[in-house]
Structure 1
Amino acid sequence: MKGTPLADRVRPETFDEVLGQRHLLGPGCPIQKQIEKGKLFSMILFGPPGSGKTTIARLFAKKFSAEFVSFSAATSGIAEIKKFMSKAQERKKLYNTDTIIFIDEIHRFNKAQQDAFLPYVEKGTIILIGATTENPSFELNSSLLSRVKVYVVRPLSFEDMKKIIQRALTSQKGLGNRFKLSPEALDFLANISDGDARVALNALELCTLSAKDNYIDLKTAEDVVQKKALKYDKKGEEHYNLISALHKSLRGSDPDAGLYWLARMLEGGEDPLYIARRLVRFAVEDIGEADPQALVVAIAAKEAVEFIGRPEGDLALAECVVYLAKAVKSNKIYLAYEAAKEDALKTLAEPVPLHIRNAPTPLMKKLGYGKGYKYPHDYPDAKVEQEYMPENLKGKKYLKDE
């Protein structure tokens, strides 16, 4: 066990030790019911980092005495998948032993990689357990989803986090009561970890290296984590207050305030991709055609964050914030589209004028589809007077300066 991270040493060994997931593992609940029936089945575990997805998969394999094979979708390809499948087939044939293939970050697999599992799942060659932090409905193939059960693994609560830290302090597999943690330090570690048990336990382990007389107080914990407990709740009011402050600073052309609010969010634990998406929205909503390059910069910042992650990606967001703050502002397109949308919702049954309809068949041409349409390229400067609006909106203008 020496050299094994604390988070792995104190990993739950039974389903009863898993915190925060009673809706799945409690008496009469979905996974527990399947276990009682002695039935192996493939599943997708959808939930935030550090909530127990890997632990549940390992315990599932342990309960059924199945071979457990784990690999990451971020680093594995189809060749490696096929190698695992071949070994699973051989194991089943020779020893009648089931193989559970656990795939972390399964959403990172492309369609072809996901499809590679289908025949093996259908034949029962393997039991597939995938873990993802992304919504399976959007990230996984429908063909794969139809062959597995999807379970939501809930975020660990503040109280759950405190129990996990306290268990690590007292467990003989963990710190064996060799260290004491002040109540303030306990609350700090539970809060700063944002529901991620591994983050909390890694932080606790680092604290033991700096503890004086085996006592960990709040200052020690803050110094080790290297950031204060910021007043920031990613799902509460402060989350919306801060993104509003950033948005309004950029709209007001204040790059310094924009940089400050950006740093507040990033250092408070906000998802950088959430910020990137809001910057893209700002580029089209508050700048628009006044500076079309703003959207290019915002998209580039998003792609940079996806490509290199944090902390390097923070500078891409900072560069974008400064550009957007300094750019010329215009909400003309935003207002024009809102007005067009309002009319569209009121006139959903309004027919498309015959002359601008597509006419791919002789019958449609006979009915007048496309008749009288003037092809702009047949006219000087590719411009021709022609009505494109439906009958009840003829002459309507949405762009105010047009």
Structure 2
Amino acid sequence: MTLFEAPAPLAERLRPRTLDEVVGQRQLLGPGKPLRRLLESGRLNSLILWGPPGVGKTTLARLVAQYVKAHFISLSAVTAGVKDVRAAVDEAERRVARGERTILFLDEIHRFNKAQQDALLPHVERGLLTLIGATTENPSFEVNPALRSRARTLVLEPLSFEDVRDLLSRALRDERGLPGVDASDEALDLLARLSDGDARRALGTLEVAASLGNPVTPELVTDAYGKHLPAMDKGGEDFYNLISALHKSVRGSHPDAALYWLARMIAGGADPLYVARRIVRMAAEDIGLADPQALRLAVAAQQTAEFLGSPEGDLALAQLVVYLALAPKSNSVYVAWKHALDLAAEQQHPVPVHLRNAPTQLMRAQGYGKGYAYYFDDPEGSFAQTYLPDALNGLQIYAASGEGWEARVKERWQKLRELHTSPEPSS
């Protein structure tokens, strides 16, 4: 570093130099664990490192190259393209002629499109390049199957509170870190909690806090941390995991959890109207006729959110998820509808003649509508006639639950079924 160069960030200065300096990831690096065995054997396999930000994906890639004595080329899929891949291939060709191996580290590999990922395939397949891809997104969705089949996927976990706390203490002791800076235990505990398992965030915040004052106090940590929006890729797995958690919390009648997941989505930048549409679906799917008012309130909340906009309209969504979480639950109509769709797809049974529309003389002459008993003229005859095709007589599709308003529906439907005749019962 020259006089005019800025020092490297604390997280970069403290990057582990050996496997023993790595914090966390014991499921991969502990004795007998997958990555430890791979490195100790000296084998070099292509890898996909999948995990949240700041858990050591880049560090592990560099250590792999160090342990197997391979040349390391680092690219970011955010800025690199096929031209950069070709340059890496050319370099690997020159080195393989000298008996050297090359690792291509591709950060944010999910940012490469299919064509860009396909450009890597032949070079990975013939062993010219050993690929180590890093991603925060589920490789099952974001990495081409052909590329996944040639690489082993390793899952990295968020760092624990203890891991981050140890790392912060190390930063104050290590000569590469912040020697001479003191921090209270309360400050380090607070920072370890706020970091949410992200070592890079924790070290970056500590460095800023140390620039504000020495010793570092909880107040300085709060000032340095600022306001971080929850990490959420609006088109990625995290987004749909949050939707899933919200839906399941409503279904499980847990209003606190439902409010938390809703807040995570809204604070993370999700479109409130998209969230509203998903919640309307919950009202229809999981509450149903146990509380018919739920769907009306859901539509009203969606309209309120659209009319007021955010943040005022977000309160309507919060009110709605609490109502739905506390409401009685029934998916009887949801189940019945799926069953009805399956039956409709299996075979197209003709409409019984007495139920057919007869707007013309010719249709009436063919018997359309003949024998139909109009309920208000002949209630008894109306119940006695069939309403399903002969092949489906006796079929039961809808079964009312005993929840909420549908408990009354169940009782009425049982009486109605007794009135209806089923000359040829079937399952």
User: Deviation of residue 322 (structure 1)?
Assistant: 6.3
Q: Which residue of 1 aligns with 2:419?
A: none
2:212 pairs with 1:219? no
User: Deviation of residue 37 (structure 1)?
Assistant: 1.5
The one-letter amino acid paired with 1:135 is N
Correspondence 1:96-107 to 2 at 5 A: 96-107=99-110
Correspondence 1:235-250 to 2 at 5 A: 242=256, 244-245=258-259
Correspondence 1:1-400 to 2 at 5 A: 1=1, 3-93=7-97, 95-176=98-179, 178-211=180-213, 214-226=214-226, 242=256, 244-245=258-259, 262=263, 265=264, 271-273=268-270, 278-286=275-283, 318=311, 321=314, 338-343=331-336, 352=345, 354-355=347-348, 391=392
Distance 2:351 2:338 in 1: 27
Equivalent residue pairs, number: 334
CA contact (8 A) 1:389 1:395 kept: no
CA contact (8 A) 1:280 1:295 kept: yes
Q: 1:289 to 1:71 in 2, by over 3 A?
A: farther
What is the DSSP-based 3-state SS (H/G/I as helix, E as strand, rest coil) of the residue aligned with 1:151? strand
Identity of aligned residues (%): 38
User: Which has the higher mean CA deviation after the structures are superposed, 160-169 or 110-119?
Assistant: 110-119
CA contact (8 A) 1:72 1:105 kept: yes
CA contact (8 A) 2:108 2:136 kept: yes
User: Deviation of residue 12 (structure 1)?
Assistant: 0.5
Q: 1:166 to 1:80 in 2, by over 3 A?
A: same
Q: 1:318 to 1:140 in 2, by over 3 A?
A: farther
The one-letter amino acid paired with 2:392 is E
Superimposed CA distance per residue, residues 334-356 of structure 1 (whole angstroms, 9 cap, x where no aligned partner)? x9993344236778985845437
CA contact (8 A) 2:11 2:203 kept: yes
Q: 1:56 to 1:69 in 2, by over 3 A?
A: same
Distance 1:316 1:200 in 2: 35
What is the DSSP-based 3-state SS (H/G/I as helix, E as strand, rest coil) of the residue aligned with 1:318? coil
User: Deviation of residue 272 (structure 1)?
Assistant: 4.5
The one-letter amino acid paired with 2:171 is A
User: Deviation of residue 104 (structure 1)?
Assistant: 1.4
Superimposed CA distance per residue, residues 45-93 of structure 1 (whole angstroms, 9 cap, x where no aligned partner)? 1111111111000111111222211122222223332332232223322
Q: Structure 1-normalised TM-score?
A: 0.67
User: Deviation of residue 149 (structure 1)?
Assistant: 0.7
Superimposed CA distance per residue, residues 99-148 of structure 1 (whole angstroms, 9 cap, x where no aligned partner)? 11111121222222222211111111111011112222222222111111
Q: What root-mean-square deviation, in Å, do the aligned CA atoms of Structure 1 and Structure 2 show?
A: 4.7
User: Which has the higher mean CA deviation after the structures are superposed, 108-117 or 156-165?
Assistant: 108-117
Distance 1:342 1:51 in 2: 43
Q: Structure 2-normalised TM-score?
A: 0.64
Q: 1:51 to 1:276 in 2, by over 3 A?
A: farther
In structure 2, stretches of 5+ residues that fail to align are: 229-241, 284-293, 353-358, 361-367, 370-386, 400-405, 407-427
Q: 1:283 to 1:70 in 2, by over 3 A?
A: farther
CA contact (8 A) 1:354 1:371 kept: no
CA contact (8 A) 1:355 1:371 kept: no
Larger Rg: 2
User: Deviation of residue 22 (structure 1)?
Assistant: 1.9
The one-letter amino acid paired with 2:102 is T
Superimposed CA distance per residue, residues 234-283 of structure 1 (whole angstroms, 9 cap, x where no aligned partner)? 99xx9x76552379xxxxxxxxxxxxx84xx579xx75459887544114
CA contact (8 A) 1:105 1:132 kept: yes
